[in-house]
C-alpha cells in the first residue's frame, strides 16, 4: 500500500506500496535540514502610552467586550465576523509545523490522494516574526545547514533566506504588553495555496479565481500546543466534480499549526542497509572537503520512563507512547481488526526495549471528550474513506529539522476489501476451501484487514517497503506447514508479499500471509533503541554500524529498496528465492482455480460480473508471474555496503539463472497458454477482449525482454565477465527463437508473437535512446533504465544479423502451408526487408 510521507510510501495497497508519495504512497526524501539559529532579537512592545501615536489602538478597542476568547498556543478572539490572534512574545520566532488537510469534499473529486476528508494537501514550517508594527509569517528552508560556530555559517544564511508567506499589521498590544494582536481573517479566508486548494486541484477543475463571497472561516480552535482552523473555500471553475452549472467548486479545509519542540530531539543518521523513510540536506559544517549530504531517518521520539530499568535490559514503557485512534466513521465490525493491526507492532518495539509502545484505540465519543477531533494535529488517526477506490496508505508528518514523527493520518478506503477478496481468492483458493465462495465471512475479511492495517502502520513508524524481504525464504519452505506457521510468507510485513500462491494441495499449509517478522523487529530495534549516556548522533551511528555489520549477509535482515528493476529479489507481489520455480507453482494453482471460478463465485439472481472480475484477476496474476521472471534476464544483485565490507555492491546473475528464465517463458508463455481459454466461462461475459489481453501479456513480456536497457546490461556483462560467464545478446536471440519461431503451423498467438519480435528488432534499428527526455542518467541507471547509445553500440550489428537470419527462415516458410500461414510469413519477409533497407 502506498505510503505517503508526504510520503506516498504507497502504497497504496494497489501498489501496497502506491502510496505513497508514498508516498504511498513510492517515495521521495524532501530536502529538509536542521534549522539555523535566529539572531534577530524579539522586539519588545512599546509602552501603552505610545500606542495612539503609532496608530495602534488600545487592546479594548480591538478586542471588545463582544469578543469570544479561547486560550491555548495563542489566545484567539472572535469579534463579530473577524478573527484575531494574540501572539505572545515567547512565540515569536518559534518554529511551528503547519499541515493543511481536506476536511470535506464534494462528491466525485478525482485527484490522487487529494479527494477525501482527512487527506493531506500541504506541510510547511512557519515562524511568526516581529518587525516594528508588522508581523510576518516566514517559511524556513532546511535544504542546507552549517554549525552556527563554523566558518560557513554566515555564507549558508546568505544563501538560505526564509521566504515571507504573509504580513499583518499589529492592531493592538495585549494588556500587559507581552504580545501583539493581529487580524487573521483575510489571511485564512483568502486565496493562499499553502492553506487551500493545491495546484493539482486547480488544474483538474480549471479554477479561474477564488470567490471570497462564497468562502468563510468556520471554526478556530486553540489548544496548548496547536491551533486548528477550519475554512470553507469556493473557487470559480470551468469544470466541477459534480455539476458544471455551478461554475464553482467548494472544499472545506483544516489547517493545523503545531508548535515544534524548542530544543529539537536528537536525529538518527540514515543507513541505506536498513530501510527507513528520511530526509536529506547539504551540510556545509563538516570537515569533508566537499558539500556533504547527510540524511536522518523518520521515527517517533520514544524515551523510557525508567531509564535505569531500561539499561538493565528490562522492558519499559515509553514516557509518551504512540497512540493511534480509529476514525468514528469506521464501521464498528472492522474497528477491532484495525486496532489489532496496530497493536501487532508491540512485539517489534519489545526488540527495542519498550513495552506498550504503540496502542490502538477507538476514538472517544463527543460525550467522552468534546474537544476530540480527527483533524486535530495532536492526534494520530486511521481515517475511513467512503470510497470505491481499492487502496490504503500510511503517511506520517515529521519535524523537518530532525525527522521526528509527530502524527499520522492513515488513509483507509472502504473498497480495499474488494481487492483483498480478489487477491486472497486468486492466490489461495487452490489450497484454501474456505475462500471458495462469493463473499467472505466477517472473521475472514477482518483478518485480512488486520494484515493490511499492520502493513500501513509500519509506514507510519518510518518503515518503507522492503521489497527484498520475501527472497529470504526458499521456495519449498513456503510449502511447509511447520515453517509457514512459524514465519509466515516473508521476514517482513513491509514487503509486498501477499498470499501464499506457492503452497500446493496436500501440503497442509494454512498460514497464508506475512506477519511482523524478523526483519521488522530488527529494523525497529535499529531505529528506536534508546541509548543512555547522551551520545551524539555520530556516536550512535558507530554503534548501529556494528549491529548492521553483524547481520550483513543474513537474508532475514536484508533490506531491498522499492522501485528498481535491476535486482530480481526486489519485486512486488513475489515470494521465495527463485521466481521461475515459484511461478511454476503459482501457475499450477491457477490452472486448478480457473475451471471452478463460475461454481465458486455463484450467487443466485446475480449477473456474471464476479465471474468476469475473478477471471480477469487470474490473467493479471499470470502476468505478475511473467514480470517476476523477466527481471532475472540482465538482472543484477544490489547489496549496499560500506568500506568495512568485502565483495561487490552490484553483481550480475549467473548465466544459468538467466537461461532458466528464458526456458520458463518458452514453456509457460510463448507456448500458447491454452489453459487460460475456457470457452464455456468466457461465453458468459467476454465480448472479444480477453484473448487480446493474453496476447498483450505475451507481446509486452517479449518486448520487455528486448528493451534497450536490458540489452545494455547484457553487453556490459559480456564485456566485464566474458561470453563464457555472461549471458549474451546472441544467446538471448537464439533462446527466444526456440519457441517464438518453432517449426510447424503457427496459431494466432504465435503469429502475433512473431510480428512483435520482428517489430521490436525494427525499433532497435531506428531508436536512439529509450530514456525519458531530460531524465538524469545516473538516476535512470539506478532504477534499471540503463542508458546506452544504441547507434554506437553493438546492438544494431547484432540485430541486423538476427534479422538476416530470420529472413531466411520466413522465406522458407512462406512457400508452404495454408493461406493464413503463407500470408503471415510473406508479410514478415516484407517487414524485415523494409527494416534492413527502408529506402526500398
DSSP string across 77-120: EEETTEEEEEEEGGGTT-EEEEEEEEEE--TT---TT-SSTT-E
Query: Could you tell me which of 435, 669, 475, 665 has the C-alpha nearest to residue 585?
Result: 475
Highest mean pLDDT among 45-59, 186-200, 235-249, 771-785: 186-200
What is the Cα–Cα distance from 640 to 557, expressed in whole angstroms?
A: 13
Residues 119, 21: Cα–Cα separation, whole Å: 12
Q: Which of 28, 783, 14 is nearest to 395 (CA)?
A: 28
Residue 691 contacts residue 677 (beta carbons within 8 Å): yes
Q: How far is CA 358 from CA 51, 158, 308, 456, 460, in A?
A: 52, 43, 21, 14, 11
- What pLDDT band is residue 6 in, cutting at 50, 70 and 90? very low
**Does residue 70 surpass a pLDDT of 50?**
yes
pLDDT in tens, 356-399: 999 999 999 999 998 888 878 889 999 998 888 888 888 888 99
Residue 296 and residue 186: Cα distance in Å, rounded? Answer: 38
> Which residue's C-alpha cell is 494466432?
748
**CA–CA dist 26, 523 (Å, integer):** 19
Pairing of strands 322-326, 358-362: parallel
| Structure confidence at residue 33 as a pLDDT band (50, 70, 90) | very low
- pLDDT of 153 reads 60
Categorise residue 80: left if φ over 0, alpha if ψ from -120 to 50, beta otherwise. left
Phi, psi of 290 (to 5 degrees): -170, 170
- In sequence order, what are the residues at sequence separation of 6 or more whose Cβ sits closer than 8 angstroms to the Cβ of residue 821? 745, 746, 813
In tens, the pLDDT along 321-368 reads: 999 999 999 999 999 999 999 999 999 999 999 999 999 999 999 999
Report the range of poorest mean pLDDT among 106-120, 144-158, 777-791. 144-158
Query: What's residue 778's pLDDT?
Result: 84
Please report the pLDDT score of residue 147 as a whole number: 60
Classify residue 365 as exposed, middle or buried by CB count within 10 Å of its CB (0-12, 13-18, 19+): exposed
CA Rg, the chain, in Å?
30
Cα gap 548→676, rounded to integer Å: 46
Note the pLDDT of residue 674.
96
Cα-based torsion angle of the residue sequence 508, 514, 519, 525 in order, rounded to the nearest 10 degrees: -120
For the chain, helix (H) and strand (E) counts, in that order, are: 25, 24
| Grid cell locating 240 | 466541477
Distance CA 44, CA 693 (A): 72
- The domain spans of the chain are 52-259, 307-557, 706-840
Dmax over CA atoms of the chain, in Å, equals 109
Q: Quick check: 349 and 524 in contact, CB under 8 A?
A: yes
Higher pLDDT, 243 or 549: 549
pTM > 0.85: yes
Is pLDDT at 47 greater than 60 in this prediction? no
Cβ proximity of 364 and 372 under 8 Å: yes
Is residue 143 within 8 Å of residue 281, measured between CB atoms? yes
CB 685 within 8 A of CB 613: no
Task: Render pLDDT for 134-167 as a digit per residue (tens, 0 to 9).
Answer: 999 999 888 666 566 665 566 656 666 789 999 9
Residue 447 C-beta-side C-alpha neighbours within 13 Å? 12
Contact, 502 vs 477, CB < 8 A? no
| Residue among 672, 673, 711, 671 at smallest CA distance from 802 | 711
Q: 5: pLDDT confidence band, cut at 50, 70 and 90?
A: very low
Give the Cα separation of 395 and 4 in Å (integer).
Answer: 4
Strand order from edge to edge, sheet including 144-145: 144-145, 278-283, 292-297
Contact (Cβ atoms closer than 8 angstroms) between residue 237 and residue 247: yes
What pLDDT is attached to residue 32? 35
Q: Which CATH number fits domain 307-557: 3.30.750, 3.40.390, 3.30.70, 1.20.120?
A: 3.40.390
Q: 687 pLDDT exceeds 50? A: yes
Cβ atoms 241, 205 nearer than 8 A = yes
Best CA proximity match to 363, nearest among 386, 334, 329: 329
Report the pLDDT value the prediction gives residue 247, as an integer from 0 to 100: 85
Report yes or no: 248 and 211 within 8 Å, Cβ to Cβ: yes
Q: Angle, to 10 degrees, between the axis of helix 655-668 and the axis of helix 690-705?
A: 160
The answer to whether 729 touches 711, Cβ cutoff 8 Å, is: yes
Task: Please report the DSSP string for 426-476 in residue order.
Answer: HHHTTT-GGG-SSS--HHHHHHHHHHHHHHHHHHHTT----TTGGGGS-GG
Residues 6+ apart with CB under 8 A from 837: none
> Per the structure block, which three cell numbers stand in for 131?
518587525
Residue 509: helix, strand or coil by DSSP? coil
Does 212 score more than 60 pLDDT? yes
Give dist(CA 141, CA 282) in Å, integer: 12
Q: What is the mean pLDDT of residues 458-469?
A: 96
Distance CA 322, CA 654 (A): 46
pLDDT in tens, 762-773: 999 998 877 777
Q: With contact defined as beta carbons under 8 Å apart, do 520 and 493 qualify?
A: yes
The confidence band for 600, taking pLDDT boundaries of 50, 70 and 90, is very high
Lowest mean pLDDT among 11-15, 289-293, 305-309: 11-15
Query: Counting every residue, how long is the chain?
Result: 840
pLDDT in tens, 514-540: 999 999 999 999 999 999 988 999 999
Confidence category of residue 4, pLDDT binned at 50, 70, 90: very low
655-668 and 729-740 are packed helices; what angle lies between their axes, rounded to 10 degrees? 20
Q: Are strands 278-283 and 380-385 parallel, antiparallel or unpaired?
A: unpaired
User: 51-60, 299-308, 781-790 — which one is most confidently predicted on average?
Assistant: 299-308
Q: Phi/psi class of residue 382: alpha, beta or left (left: φ > 0; alpha: ψ in -120 to 50)?
A: beta
> Mean pLDDT throughout 412-433?
95
Please choose, from the candidates 7, 46, 49, the residue with its C-alpha nearest in 3D space to the C-alpha of residue 25. 7
Amino acid at each position: 500500500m502506498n505510503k505517503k510521507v508526504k510520503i506516498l510510501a504507497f502504497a497504496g495497497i494497489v501498489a501496497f506500496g502506491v502510496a505513497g508519495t508514498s508516498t504511498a504512497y513510492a517515495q521521495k526524501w524532501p530536502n529538509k535540514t536542521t534549522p539555523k539559529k535566529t539572531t534577530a532579537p524579539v522586539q519588545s512592545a512599546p509602552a501603552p502610552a505610545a500606542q495612539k501615536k503609532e496608530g495602534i489602538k488600545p487592546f479594548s478597542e480591538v478586542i471588545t467586550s463582544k469578543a469570544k476568547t479561547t486560550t491555548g498556543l495563542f489566545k484567539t478572539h472572535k469579534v463579530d465576523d473577524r478573527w484575531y490572534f494574540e501572539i505572545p512574545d515567547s512565540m515569536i520566532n518559534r518554529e511551528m509545523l503547519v499541515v493543511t488537510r481536506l476536511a470535506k469534499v464534494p462528491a466525485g473529486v478525482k485527484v490522487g490522494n487529494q479527494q477525501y476528508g482527512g487527506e493531506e494537501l500541504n506541510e510547511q514550517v512557519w515562524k511568526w516574526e516581529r518587525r516594528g508594527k508588522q508581523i510576518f509569517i516566514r517559511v524556513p528552508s532546511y535544504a542546507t545547514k552549517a554549525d552556527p560556530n563554523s566558518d560557513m555559517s554566515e555564507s549558508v544564511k546568505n544563501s538560505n533566506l526564509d521566504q515571507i508567506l504573509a504580513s499583518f499589521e499589529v492592531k493592538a498590544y495585549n494588556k500587559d504588553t507581552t504580545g501583539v494582536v493581529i487580524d487573521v481573517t483575510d489571511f485564512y479566508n483568502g486565496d493562499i495555496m499553502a492553506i487551500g486548494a493545491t495546484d493539482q486541484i486547480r488544474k483538474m477543475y480549471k479554477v479561474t479565481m477564488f470567490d471570497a463571497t462564497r468562502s468563510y472561516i468556520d471554526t478556530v480552535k486553540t489548544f496548548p500546543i496547536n491551533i486548528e482552523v477550519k475554512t470553507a473555500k469556493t473557487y470559480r471553475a470551468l469544470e466541477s466534480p459534480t455539476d458544471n452549472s455551478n461554475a464553482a467548486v467548494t472544499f472545506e479545509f483544516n489547517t493545523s499549526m503545531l508548535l515544534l519542540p524548542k530544543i529539537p530531539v536528537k536525529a538518527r543518521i540514515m543507513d541505506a542497509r536498513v530501510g527507513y523513510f528520511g530526509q536529506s540536506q547539504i551540510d556545509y559544517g563538516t570537515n569533508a572537503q566537499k558539500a556533504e549530504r547527510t540524511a536522518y531517518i523518520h521515527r517517533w521520539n520514544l524515551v523510557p520512563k525508567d531509564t535505569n530499568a531500561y539499561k538493565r535490559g528490562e522492558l519499559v514503557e515509553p514516557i509518551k507512547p504512540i497512540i493511534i485512534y480509529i476514525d468514528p466513521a469506521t464501521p464498528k465490525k472492522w474497528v477491532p481488526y484495525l486496532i489489532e493491526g496496530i497493536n501487532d507492532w508491540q512485539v517489534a518495539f519489545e526488540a527495542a526495549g519498550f513495552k506498550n509502545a504503540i496502542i490502538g484505540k477507538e476514538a472517544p465519543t463527543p460525550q467522552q471528550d468534546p474537544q476530540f477531533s480527527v483533524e486535530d494535529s495532536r492526534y494520530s488517526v486511521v481515517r475511513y474513506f467512503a470510497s470505491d477506490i481499492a487502496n490504503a496508505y500510511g503517511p506520517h508528518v515529521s519535524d523537518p529539522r530532525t525527522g521526528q514523527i509527530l502524527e499520522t493520518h492513515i488513509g483507509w478506503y472502504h473498497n480495499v476489501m474488494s481487492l483483498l477478496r480478489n487477491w486472497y481468492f486468486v492466490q489461495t483458493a487452490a489450497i484454501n476451501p474456505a475462500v471458495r465462495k462469493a463473499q467472505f465471512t466477517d472473521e475472514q475479511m477482518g483478518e485480512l484487514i488486520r494484515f493490511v492495517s499492520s502493513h500501513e502502520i509500519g509506514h507510519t513508524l518510518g518503515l518503507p517497503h522492503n521489497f527484498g524481504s520475501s527472497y529470504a525464504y526458499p521456495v519449498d519452505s513456503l510449502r511447509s506447514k511447520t515453517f509457514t506457521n512459524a514465519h509466515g510468507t516473508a521476514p517482513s510485513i513491509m514487503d509486498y508479499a501477499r498470499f501464499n500462491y506457492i503452497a500446493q494441495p496436500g501440503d497442509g499449509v494454512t498460514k497464508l500471509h506475512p506477519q511482523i517478522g524478523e526483519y521488522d523487529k530488527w529494523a525497529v530495534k535499529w531505529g528506536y533503541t534508546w541509548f543512555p549516556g547522551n551520545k551524539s548522533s555520530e556516536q550512535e551511528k558507530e554503534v548501529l554500524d556494528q549491529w548492521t555489520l553483524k547481520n550483513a549477509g543474513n537474508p532475514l535482515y536484508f533490506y531491498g529498496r522499492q522501485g528498481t528493476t535491476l535486482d530480481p529479489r526486489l519485486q512486488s507481489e513475489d515470494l521465495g528465492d527463485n521466481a521461475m520455480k515459484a511461478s511454476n507453482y503459482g501457475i499450477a494453482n491457477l490452472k486448478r482455480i480457473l475451471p471452478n471460478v463460475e461454481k465458486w463465485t455463484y450467487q443466485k439472481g446475480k449477473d456474471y460480473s464476479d465471474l468476469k472480475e475473478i477471471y480477469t484477476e487470474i490473467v493479471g496474476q499470470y502476468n505478475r508471474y511473467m514480470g517476476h521472471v523477466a527481471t532475472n534476464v540482465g538482472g543484477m544483485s544490489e547489496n549496499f555496503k560500506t568500506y568495512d565490507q568485502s565483495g561487490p555492491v552490484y553483481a550480475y546473475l549467473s548465466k544459468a539463472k538467466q537461461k532458466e528464465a528464458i526456458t520458463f517463458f518458452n514453456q509457460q508463455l510463448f507456448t500458447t497458454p491454452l489453459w487460460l481459454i475456457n470457452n464455456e466461462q468466457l461465453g458468459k461475459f467476454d465480448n472479444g477482449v480477453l484473448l487480446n489481453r493474453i496476447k498483450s501479456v505475451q507481446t509486452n513480456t517479449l518486448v520487455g525482454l528486448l528493451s534497450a536497457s536490458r540489452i545494455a546490461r547484457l553487453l556490459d556483462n559480456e564485456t566485464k565477465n566474458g561470453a563464457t560467464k555472461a549471458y549474451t545478446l546472441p544467446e538471448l536471440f537464439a533462446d527466444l527463437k526456440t519457441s517464438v519461431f518453432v517449426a510447424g503451423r503457427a496459431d494466432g498467438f504465435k503469429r502475433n508473437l512473431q510480428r512483435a519480435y520482428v517489430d521490436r528488432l525494427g525499433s532497435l534499428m531506428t531508436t536512439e535512446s529509450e530514456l525519458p527526455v531530460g531524465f538524469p542518467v545516473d538516476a535512470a541507471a539506478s532504477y534499471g533504465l540503463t542508458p546506452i547509445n544504441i547507434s554506437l553500440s553493438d546492438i544494431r550489428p547484432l540485430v541486423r544479423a538476427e534479422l538476416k537470419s530470420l529472413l531466411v527462415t520466413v522465406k522458407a516458410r512462406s512457400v508452404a502451408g495454408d493461406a493464413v500461414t503463407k500470408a503471415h510469413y510473406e508479410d514478415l519477409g516484407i517487414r524485415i526487408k523494409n527494416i534492413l533497407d527502408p529506402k526500398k
